[in-house]
Chains A and B, each alone.
Chain A
Amino acid sequence: MIQLLKFEFYRLLKSKISWIILAVMTVLPVLAVIVISLFIKLGNEDRITPDVAKFMTWLVISYFYKWVPMVTALFIPIFTGRNFRDGFIRNMITAGHTRFQIFASAVISKAVYTALLCTGYVLGGILSLLVSPVPVNLNGGEMLLRALTLMLSAVATSVLYTTLVMVIRNKAVPIILSVLFVMSFTVCGLLASSFSYNHKMVRQYSKIWTKTARENGFASEFDEDGYFNVGWYAGHPLFVFTNASMENEFMFTSSSLVSDINGATSYSDEISRNNFNSVSSYLFSKNAGIVGNEAIKKHVDGAYVSVERAELEYNMKSVVWIMIYFGAGYAIFRKKNIF
Chain B
Amino acid sequence: MEDQMMIKATGLCKSYGRKPVLKDVNFTINKGDIYGLVGKNGAGKTTIMRILTGLQEPTGGFIDFGYDRRKLGSAGTLIEMPSIYANQSAEDNLKFQYLNLGLKFDNSIKEILELVGLQNTGSKKAGKFSLGMRQRLGIAIAMVGDPEVLVLDEPINGLDPQGIIEVRDLLLKLNREKGITIVISSHILSELAKLATRFGFIDDGHMIRECTTYEIEHAGEKLMIIKCDKLQEYNSLLNARGFTSELISNPDKVTIHGEVDIIDIAMIARDAQIKITDLRTVETNLEEFYVDVVGGSQK
The complex places the Cα of A160 from the Cα of B230 at a distance, in Å, of: 84
Main secondary structure on chain A at its contact with chain B?
Answer: helix
Q: Mark out the residues of chain B between 41 and 56 whose CB falls within 8 Å of any chain A CB in the assembled complex.
A: 53-56
Decide yes or no whether B115 CB sits under 8 A from chain A. no
Of the listed residues B70, B71, B75, B85, the one surrounded by the most CB atoms of chain A closer than 10 A to its CB is: B85
Decide yes or no whether A241 CB sits under 8 A from chain B. no
> What is the size, in residues, of chain B's interface with A at 8 Å between Cβ atoms?
31
Decide yes or no whether B231 CB sits under 8 A from chain A. no
- Please tell me if the beta carbons of B70 and A96 are within 8 angstroms of each other in the complex: yes
**Across-interface contacts of A200 in B (CB, < 8 A):** none
Instruction: Give chain B nearest CB distance to A15 CB in angstroms.
Output: 9
Instruction: Give chain A nearest CB distance to B82 CB in angstroms.
Output: 8
- Please tell me if the beta carbons of A91 and B56 are within 8 angstroms of each other in the complex: no
The complex places the Cα of A7 from the Cα of B75 at a distance, in Å, of: 19
**Across-interface contacts of A95 in B (CB, < 8 A):** 72-73, 100-101
- Please tell me if the beta carbons of B75 and A94 are within 8 angstroms of each other in the complex: yes
Instruction: Give chain B nearest CB distance to A64 CB in angstroms.
Output: 28
In the complex where A82-B85, A87-B84 touch, is A94 in contact with B55 (Cβ < 8 A)?
yes
**Across-interface contacts of A91 in B (CB, < 8 A):** 77, 83, 97, 100, 141
Decide yes or no whether B268 CB sits under 8 A from chain A. no
The complex places the Cα of A91 from the Cα of B100 at a distance, in Å, of: 8
Decide yes or no whether A66 CB sits under 8 A from chain B. no
Decide yes or no whether A92 CB sits under 8 A from chain B. yes
The complex places the Cα of A95 from the Cα of B79 at a distance, in Å, of: 13
Instruction: Give chain A nearest CB distance to B85 CB in angstroms.
Output: 5
Decide yes or no whether B88 CB sits under 8 A from chain A. yes
B82 nearest in chain A by CB position: A87
**Across-interface contacts of A96 in B (CB, < 8 A):** 54, 69-75
- Please tell me if the beta carbons of B73 and A82 are within 8 angstroms of each other in the complex: no
Interface bits A301-339 vs B (CB < 8 Å: 1, else 0): 000000000000000000000000000000000000101
- Please tell me if the beta carbons of B83 and A3 are within 8 angstroms of each other in the complex: no
Instruction: Give chain A nearest CB distance to B88 CB in angstroms.
Output: 7
The one of B74, B79, B96 in contact with A90, judged by C-beta atoms closer than 8 angstroms, is: B79
Instruction: Give chain B nearest CB distance to A19 CB in angstroms.
Output: 14
B101 nearest in chain A by CB position: A95
The complex places the Cα of A91 from the Cα of B88 at a distance, in Å, of: 15
Q: Mark out the residues of chain A between 195 and 246 whose CB falls within 8 Å of any chain B CB in the assembled complex.
A: none
Of the listed residues A89, A91, A93, A96, the one surrounded by the most CB atoms of chain B closer than 10 A to its CB is: A91
**Across-interface contacts of B53 in A (CB, < 8 A):** 93-94
- Please tell me if the beta carbons of B83 and A88 are within 8 angstroms of each other in the complex: yes
A85 nearest in chain B by CB position: B86
B-to-A contact residues, CB < 8 Å: 53-56, 69-75, 77, 79, 81-88, 92, 95-97, 99-102, 141, 151
A-B CB contact pairs (8 Å), 23 listed: A2-B102, A3-B99, A3-B100, A3-B102, A10-B96, A14-B92, A86-B85, A87-B84, A88-B83, A88-B84, A88-B96, A90-B55, A90-B79, A90-B83, A91-B141, A93-B53, A93-B55, A94-B79, A96-B69, A96-B70, A96-B73, A97-B72, A337-B56
Given A6-B99, A96-B72, 5 extra CB contacts under 8 A: A4-B100, A82-B85, A87-B81, A88-B85, A91-B83
- In order of increasing CB-CB distance, the 7 nearest A-B pairs are A3-B102, A87-B83, A7-B99, A94-B77, A94-B53, A90-B83, A91-B83
